Amino acid sequence: GENVEQHPSTLSVQEGDSAVIKCTYSDSASNYFPWYKQELGKRPQLIIDIRSNVGEKKDQRIAVTLNKTAKHFSLHITETQPEDSAVYFCAANSGGSNYKLTFGKGTLLTVNP
């Protein structure tokens, strides 16, 4: 089955700096890669996703890049703000299916004012 590795497990940055979280996946048939943000005590919420037919996608301060050959994808947050502090999870669909997502173990991002 699919295996998703996420690094780092914790990340601390100063407000205004950039943050990068990286994930690798094992199933070459995976074609959908979402990122979820989970604030403390809250539910995970989708912040951005990318499909395998594109290499990069941006939404304001957030961008995701995908390298299908190397089977890795990354989340980039620029001009970080304290409200970006949360746990971020990457995921990949299994076997190219539409339904089953395998999640990474998460990255705790702390943005220091």
Partner 1 sequence: GAGVSQSPSNKVTEKGKDVELRCDPISGHTALYWYRQSLGQGLEFLIYFQGNSAPDKSGLPSDRFSAERTGGSVSTLTIQRTQQEDSAVYLCASTPANEQFFGPGTRLTVL
Q: Least Å distance between CB 104 and partner 1?
A: 6
Q: Which is nearer to partner 1, 42 or 61 (CB)?
A: 42
Residues 55-84 that bind partner 1 (CB under 8 A): none
CB 95 within 8 A of CB 2: yes
Number of residues that bind partner 1 (CB under 8 A): 22
Pairing, β 56-59 against β 72-77: unpaired
32 vs 44: CA distance, rounded Å:
17
Q: Which of 16, 17, 20 is nearest to 6 (CA)?
A: 20
Taking CB under 8 A as the rule, which mask of x and - marks residues 17-46 in contact with partner 1? ---------------x-x-x-----xxxxx
Q: Least Å distance between CB 79 and partner 1?
A: 25
